Structure 1
Amino acid sequence: MNTLKCRHLRRTEMDNSTDGDKTIGNTGMDSATLAGVISTAISFVALIVSSIQLLYQYYTNVSLNALGARNCNSWVMGPWAGATRRRWRWLELRFEIIFQSPILFVAPAFNRRGPVPGREIWYIDGSDQSYQETRTPLPIDAGSLPRTTAIRRGVNVEATWVLLLRTLQSMERDSARWHELMHFNVDAKKPRPFSARTIAVAVQAQTLSWDFVPNFKKPFAGTTICHIVEIAAMLGIYWTMWDSKADRYRAEGNGCILLGSFNAEQGIVFTLVRHDKTVFLDNRLIPNNSIKRFCFGFSPTFYFLDKYEYLDEKNMTKRPTEPILPMLKLGSRQEIAETLMDIGCPITVAEYFLNEDARTSHLFPVIFDVLGMLGRSLSVEGYCYRMLPNPTIFRWDRRWFNTRRLLLVFKEYQTELYKNYAAAGDIPGPLISIRSALDRLSSYLENPLIKDFSPILLDNLREVMSTLDTLLIESSEDEDHPSETIVLETVNRHIACVVADLSQRPSRLLDLFPLGRANEGANEVSLISFLFERSRWAATHIYNPDLSIAHREFNQRFAITKIEVNVVEKMQVPTCSLGLRDRPRLRDTTWCLLVFRMLCWLQLHDFHKDDVMVPRSATYGSRMPVYII
C-alpha cells in the first residue's frame, strides 16, 4: 500500500515538473507566446521606421518638389521669396511650387506695354518706392574694399539677377545724387521728370511653376538678347567676346563681369559677377532711346527722326521725302565700307578701311569725323551725362588731343575766314551763326574751372547743335541752306582728302608733324590747319577723289615737302572761277558748318577708352529669350 502511494506521489511531481518547464523565466509565458510578442514588437518598430522614411521621401521629393522650395527662399531670391507658395494637386497627391521672378526689358518710362499682359510695370529709378516695388534688397555698405565681400561670405547662394537689380537701382540712385550736386547753385536748365525719359530699365513679375523649370538649380530672371546688351551698356560693361556661332559671350567693366553661354537644356544663360566697386557719376550713359542703336553699331543721322521725337514736337510733320542716309552703320569694317559708299565715297576710299593694317587715324580715328559731321546729337536737355556706347570698331583715345582746344583753334581760323568774307562785302548767314556760337562758347571753353560735364557748357553746346542742325536740314538749297546731297558730297570730299593723306608716305598729318602730348597744343593746330588748307579746298574745288588720282592732284596743289602750319593768311574766299565747283560759296559754308558741328558733337559726347564695338549688328532688335541665374 505504501509502495503504491509513493509511486503516485512521484508521478505527480514529474507532471508538475513537466508543466513548470513550459514557462520561460519569470515571464509566465511559454516560448511560442514570447516569440509572437517579440515579432509583433519588431514589426511595429519596422512600421514606424518605414512610415518615417515614407514621410521623409514625401516631404523632400513631393511636398517641397525637391530643390524647388529650398531655392525659392530669401537667401536665394531676396524679397522675391515672399511670393513663393505651394499649391495642392489632387490628381497627383502632391504640392506644386509656385514662385515669381522678374522679367527685365528696356523701354521708355512712359511705356505701358510689357511682355506679360495685364501685369504692372515697375521702372527702376533708384527711389525707395522703386526698391520696394521691384523687391530689390536695400543697399549694404560693403566698405572701401568690396572685393573682399565674397571671401567674408563664403559660398554665394544669391541669384545673380538679384545682384543685377541691386546694381541697376544703385546706378539710378548714385547718378541722381551726383546730378543734383552738379546742378546745385547753377543757373542751368533742369531735367524733365523721370516719367518723360525715353529709355529706362523696366521690371515685370512672371509667375512660374518649378515643375517646368528647365533643369535650373536656382530661380531665374528672363530678358532678351538685345536687352541684355543694352542693360550692360547702361552699367558701363563693355563686351570683349561676342561669338554667336559658339554662343560664348563675355563683357567686363565698372567692377562687373557678365558671362554668357549656351546650354542644351536651358538655352543662353548669363551670370553677373561683381569683383570691385561700381561707379555711376559722369560715366553714366545719356538717357536717350537712340543709345539702343549705338549698342549694335548703328548711329542715326540728324536727318533721321524716330517716333519719340514726334511726341515732343507735335507740330513737326514728316518730310516729303525720306532721307538719303538715315543711318550710319559702323559696327564692322564691311559695314563702314558700305556706309562710306552710301555717302558717296569712291570704292577705293571705302575699300581702304577693309585693310586692317591701313592707317585710319589722325588725332582720332577718321570714322569719328563722319560720326561728328552726320551723327545725331543724343544729349538730353537738363542732364550732365556725355557718355555713349561706342558704335565703331575703333578706340576713342583722348591722350593726343583736347576737344576744347580744337574748338578754340578752329575759332582762330574761322575768325580770319570771316574777315575775308567781310572784306569781300558778302558774309554768308551760316558764318555769322558760327561766329556768334563760338563767341558764346569761348568763355566756357577757356575757363579751366568749368568741366566738360558742366551744365552751363552742355546747355550752350546743345543750343549750338540745334542751330547747326536747323541750317543743315533745311532743303531750300539757297546760298545759305545746303541740300542733303551737298552735305553728303562735302563729307565725301573731306573723307577722301584725309584718307588720301594718310595712305601716302610721308603723310602731312602723321609723318611731317608727329603727334606730341595733348597738353602741348601742337596736335590741335596741326589738324585744324590741315582741315582749312586741304579739306576745305577739296570741298570747293574740282578734283577726282579716287585715291590713285587724288594723291597726284594734292601733291601738285600742295608742296608736300614745304608745308606751312599757319595757313590763316593764305585762306581766300572762293569765287566763281575756273577750277572751282558750282556754287562754291554754298559748299564753303557747308564745309564750315560740318566741321564746326563735328567738333561740337565730339565735345558734347564722349566714349570710354575700353569700349570697342565687337560686331553684333544682326542682334539689334532680336527678341530671342535668355536667362539670368
Structure 2
Amino acid sequence: MADQDIPILDNRTLHVTVDDGDDRLINVFALVFAIVALIGTFAQVLQQYIASAAGYSNCGEPVMGEWHHGKKRKFRWSELRFEVQFETPVIFVCPPSNDKGPIKGKPIYFIDGTDASLKNTRALLPQQEVQKQQELVQQNRVHTADNERATWVSLLSQLQEMERESQAWQQKHYNNNPPQKSEAVQFKTHTLAIAMQSKQRSWDTMPDGVKKPYATTAICHLLEIAAMMGIYWQEFDRSKDKYRAEGNGYMLTGSSVNDLGLVFTFQISGKSRFQENRVIPVDEVKDLCCGFVPTLFLESNKEKRRIEFPNEDVKDLGFLQFGSMNEIAETMVLIDCNTNTANYFRANNATAKHSHLFPVPFELLGMLGKTLHIRNSAYRMLPNPTPYHWDKNFFNLRRLIREYQKKIVDSDNHIMPSPQALQLQEDASNLLWELNVDKKTKTPGYSLPLLNALHDVLDRCDAYLRDADKSLVNLVLREHFQKVLQMLNDPVKKPNGDKTDSATIGDVPLDDRPRAQRFEELSAASPEERQLAFMELYFFTVLPEVRSRAVIWYKRQQSTGYAPSIRTRSDSLDSLPDTRALSEPATPLAPSQRPLSAGPPAHLEKHRSTQSVPLLRISTPTPPSGGFIDKTTSLDSDASDIWCTLVLRMLCWLLLHDFHKKDVQIPKSELLGNRLPVYIA
C-alpha cells in the first residue's frame, strides 16, 4: 500500500490510498487488449495477403484430382502479394518413338494404361479405378458425382482405360487364335499414341469467368483423340463456334470463350468399351479424320504433307480427298473422269445417285486406299473419311468375295488366263477357305489367320498395281467409275424384246433368272441373290466396256501423248476420227468377235491414212519363226487383269477395315495438321 497526496482545486490535499496489485492488473489487461488488437491487425494483414492468392481454392483435389499436388503459392515481393501457380497437362498425339514435345525440356509421358503411366500422368490409380467402376454400377453405369471436377481429369482417366482395356482384349484375342509366327502387337509398335507434358501456369493469366484450370491441346489433336475414343461429330460449325460430338458413352462439346478461345468440355454419358471397336493405332488416322485418304501410290517421304495439303490441292494419286461432296467431285477430276461424272457429286446436285450396294466413294477407297491394318492385330476400325454412312445391313462382303471367285473363273467373262488372272483365282479361292474356317473360330470375323490372309492379298495386289503401266491403271480406274456412275444415273433402256421385270427378279428361281443388267435390279433382289446380281453386272456389263475404252484411249495416248475426253473433240485433233460413237454404251462382244488388240479398231483403221498423227502400234519385231507377237495383243488382257485386281482389292480392303455405322465426315479438311490451340475445361 502506498500513500499519495492528490492536490485539489481549493488548495486542500486529498489523501488517497492505492493498491499496487490493482495497478498491475489494469496494466496486464491493457497489454492483453493491445496484443489482441495487434494480432488482429496482423491477422487482417495476413488474410489480405493470403486472399491475394486468388484461385488457390479452385486448384484443390476435388477439382484437379492428383494434379492438385502441383499447386503452390509464390510471394511476389515487388507486388507484396501471393501468386498461385499450378500445373496442367498439354495433350498431343504422336508416335511412341517421338522425343520432341511442344514444351522444350519437359519429359514426355505416353498414355499406355500401365501403372507407371498412371502415376506419371497423375490419372486415377488402379485402386481408385476399381472404386470408380463400383460407383458406376451403383449409379446405373453413369458417373455423375464428381461434377465439380475438371473434365480433362476424367479425359486422362478414360484414355488410360482405353489403352488398358484394348490391350487386354488384344492379348486375349491373340490367345484364342491358333499359334502365330510372331507375337501380338505391343504398344511400342504403334505409330499413333497420346502423350502429354505438364506445364506450369499462373492463376493471374486466367480469363474472367474461367473458374477451373484447363488443359491445352491443338484442334488437330482433339479431332484425332475424339476419333480414337469412338466419338463422332454431330455438329462442327466454325462460323458459329458450335461443336458437338457423341459416341461410345462420351460427349464432347465446344464453344468460344472471351479472352481465351475454343474451350471443349468432356463428359461421360454412358458405358464405354474399347475392344473390337478400337481404332487402329496408325499414323494415317490423322489424315482420315479430316477426309484425306493415303493411297497405295503414296511415297514414303511424306514429312510435310499435313502442313502443305490444307493450302494446296492434291496433285497426284498419293492422296485422295473425300471430306465433302465437292472434294469427292475434285477427286473424280483427279483420276481424269469426265465432267458429267464429277458433277454427280457436286453439292448442288440433289438428284444424282451415288450408291449401288454401298456408296461409290467407298469403292474407290477400297481400290486405292493404303492398307492400314497391323499384322497380328485384331483392330479393324477406322474414322470414316466420307460423308456417307457405312451400313453393312444391305450387303455381305463375304458373299461378294464368293461370287467374285465364281465369276473370275467363269468362261463367259472373256478373261484370258494370264499369270495375274491365275493368281487372282488362287487368292480368291484361298480367301473362301479362310472365310469358312473363320466361321468356326472363337473370334468369327476377327480371326488372325483371316485378317493376315486379307493383308497378304492386298500386298500382292499393291505390288502388281505399282509395277503395272500407270497410264493403263489410271485409264481403267477412270473408265470404271465413269461407267458405274453412268449406269446409276443414266440407266440404259431395256430392249423391246426384253421382258425382264426387276420387280419380280427375287421370285424367279436362281437357275432360270436372267442375268442382271441394271443396278435397279439390286434393290428388288433378295439378300441371297443381291451379291450375285452385283457381280454379274460388274463382270458382264462393266468389265467389257471398261476394257474396250481403256485400251482405245491407251493407244491414243501412246500415239498422240494425249487422250481427249470421249465426249469432246479438241481442235488440234480434227484429223482424228470422230469418236462421238464411243459415247454410246458399248455392247459386249462374243469371244470370237472381240479383237485381241492386234491393231486399231476397224472404225479407226480406215482413217489411219488421213491422220495427222498416226496411231502407234506398240509391237516388237516378229522373227520369221513367229516366236513373238504384237505387244498390243496383251492390252486387253492387261486391262482385264488391272480391273479384276482393283475389284478384289476393294473387297479385301473393305473386309479388312471397318467404319462405325454412325460415323460420317463433316467437312474440315483445312484442319489437317492445324495447330490452333484449344482448351479442355
* TM-score, normalised with respect to structure 2: 0.76
| % identity of equivalent residues | 36
Q: In the TM superposition, what are the counterparts of 1:29-48 in structure 2 within 5 Å?
A: none
Partner of 1:99: 86
In structure 2, how many angstroms separate the alpha carbons of the residues matched to 1:285 and 1:151? 24
Deviation, 1:266, is: 1.1
Return closer, same or farther for 1:579/1:194 CA change in 2, 3 Å cut-off: farther
What are the Cα deviations for residues 499-531 of structure 1, in whole angstroms up to 9, with x where unaligned? 1111135795443342556xx321111111111
Q: Contact 1:285–1:387 at 8 Å: present in 2 too?
A: yes
1:162 equivalent in structure 2: 153
Find 1:557's aligned residue among 566, 587, 591.
587
1:227-252 CA-partner distances (Å, limit 9, x unpaired): 00000000000011111122211111
Aligned length: 567
Partner of 1:4: none
Instruction: Mark the runs of 5 or more structure 1 residues left unpaired by the alignment.
Output: 1-14, 310-321, 475-481, 559-566
Q: 1:152 to 1:595 in 2, by over 3 A?
A: closer
Matching residue within 483, 505, 511 for 2:520: 511
| Per-residue CA distance 1:354-402 (angstroms, 9 max, x = gap) | 1233211001000111111111111111211111100011111101111
Extract unaligned runs of 5+ from structure 2: 1-9, 304-313, 494-516, 553-564, 569-579, 605-631
CA distance in 2, matches of 1:131, 1:101: 15
Show CA shifts across 1:74-103 (max 9, x none).
221122222222222222233322221111
1:364-403 pair list within 5 angstroms: 364-403=358-397
Match of 2:607 in 1: none
Hey, what does 1:252 align to over in structure 2? Answer: 246
For residues 143 and 269 of structure 2, the distance between their equivalents in structure 1, rounded to whole angstroms, comes to: 13
Name the residue aligned to 2:106: 119
Tell me if 1:228 matches 2:235. no
CA distance in 2: counterparts of 1:438 and 1:253, whole angstroms: 36
Q: Where do residues 233-244 of structure 1 align in structure 2 (5 Å cutoff)?
A: 233-244=227-238
User: 1:66, CA displacement in angstroms?
Assistant: 1.8
Which amino acid letter does the alignment assign opposite residue 190 of structure 2? R
In structure 1, the partner of 2:293 is 299
1:523 to 515, 530, 542: 530
Alignment partner of 1:337 out of 319, 329, 332: 329
Give 1:220 deviation, angstroms: 1.2
* Greater Cα offset, 536-545 or 82-91: 536-545
Contact 1:575 1:584 in 2 (8 A): yes
The CA distance in 2 between the partners of 1:37 and 1:19, in whole Å, is 28
The alignment partner of 1:528 has SS state of helix
Which of 47, 54, 58 is equivalent to 1:66?
A: 54
2:483 is aligned to 497
CA distance in 2, matches of 1:58, 1:360: 69
Match of 1:196 among 186, 189, 208: 189
Matched, 1:590 2:590: no
Are positions 1:453 and 2:460 aligned together?
Answer: no
1:353 matches 2:339 = no
Contact 2:54–2:83 at 8 Å: present in 1 too? no
Segment of structure 1 superposing worse, 114-123 or 192-201: 192-201
Q: Secondary structure at the match of 1:223?
A: strand
Contact 1:501 1:551 survives alignment (8 Å): no
User: Secondary structure at 2:523's aligned position in 1?
Assistant: coil
| Counterpart for residue 470 of structure 2 | 484
Change (3 A) 1:82 1:602: same
Task: State the 1:19 CA deviation.
Answer: 7.9
Query: Which runs of structure 2 are paired with 1:538-549 in the superposition (5 Å)?
Result: 538-542=545-549
One-letter amino acid matched to 1:172: E
- Counterpart for residue 204 of structure 2: 211
Provide the C-alpha distance between the structure 2 equivalents of 1:386 and 1:38, rounded to a whole number of angstroms.
Answer: 83
TM-aligned CA deviation for residue 143 of structure 1: 4.5
1:41 and 1:595, CA in 2 relative to 1: closer, same or farther beyond 3 A? same
- Structure 1 Cα separation of the partners of residues 420 and 237 of structure 2: 47
Measure the CA separation in 2 of the matches of 1:156 and 1:490: 58
Is the CA contact 1:496–1:545 (under 8 Å) kept in the aligned structure 2? Answer: no
- Name the amino acid aligned to 1:260: G
**Aligned with residue 613 of structure 1, among 665, 673, 678:** 665
Q: Which residue of 1 aligns with 2:171?
A: 180
Pick from 422, 439, 460 the counterpart of residue 432 of structure 1: 422
1:150–1:571 distance in 2 versus 1, CA, 3 Å: farther
- Could you say what secondary structure the match of 1:541 adopts? helix
Q: Deviation at 1:182?
A: 1.1
Residues 193 and 446 (structure 1), Cα distance of their counterparts in 2 relative to 1, 3 Å cut: closer
Which has the larger displacement, 187-196 or 202-211?
187-196
- 1:47-83 deviation line (CA, Å, top 9, x unaligned): 6655544433332x22xx122x212222211222222
Letter aligned with residue 171 of structure 2: E
Does the Cα contact within 8 Å between 2:357 and 2:522 map onto a contact in 1? Answer: no
Structure 1 residue matching 2:410: 3-state secondary structure: helix
Equivalent in 44, 48, 57 of residue 57 of structure 1: 48
Shift of 1:190: 2.9
Is this contact kept in 1: 2:59–2:212, CA < 8 A?
yes
Change (3 A) 1:585 1:209: same
1:462–1:501 Cα change, 3 Å? same
1:28–1:272 CA distance, 2 compared to 1 (3 A): closer
Matching residue of 2:614: none
Distance in 2, Cα, partners of 1:294 & 1:326 = 14
Equivalent residue number for residue 443 of structure 1: 433
Q: Is the 8 A contact 2:543 2:643 kept in 1?
A: yes
Change beyond 3 A, Cα 1:392–1:147 = farther
Give the letter aligned to residue 529 of structure 2.
A
Q: CA 1:488/1:412 → structure 2, altered by over 3 Å: closer, same or farther?
A: same
**Quick one: structure 1 residues 301 and 323, their matched pair in 2 at CA, closer, same or farther if it must change by over 3 Å?**
farther
Q: After TM superposition, list the pairs within 5 Å mapping 1:401-412 onto structure 2.
A: 401-412=395-406
8 Å contact kept, 1:362–1:509: no
- Partner letter of residue 94 of structure 1? R
Residue-by-residue CA offset, 1:6-46 (whole Å, 9 max, x unaligned): xxxxxxxxx9xx989x99xxx999xxxx9x99999998876
Q: Label 1:328 to 1:152 Cα distance change in 2 as closer, same or farther (>3 A).
A: closer
Query: 1:620/1:137 Cα in 2 relative to 1: closer, same or farther (>3 Å)?
Result: same
Counterpart residue type for residue 304 of structure 1: L
The secondary structure found in structure 2 opposite 1:385 is: coil
Three-state SS of the structure 2 residue aligned to 1:521 is helix
Pick which of 328-337 and 93-102 moved more: 93-102
Name the counterpart of 1:83. Answer: 70
Distance 1:207 1:294, change over 3 A: same
TM-score by length of structure 1 reads 0.82
Matches within 5 A, 1:253-292: 253-292=247-286
- Secondary structure at 1:512's aligned position in 2? helix
Per the alignment, do residues 540 and 153 of structure 1 end up closer, same or farther by CA in structure 2, a change over 3 Å counting? Answer: closer
The alpha-carbon distance between structure 1 residues 251 and 125, as it changes in their structure 2 partners (threshold 3 A), is same
User: 323-332 or 167-176: which moved more?
Assistant: 323-332
**3-state secondary structure, aligned to 1:77:** helix
Q: What is the rounded CA distance, in whole Å, between the counterparts of 1:289 and 1:168 in structure 2?
A: 17
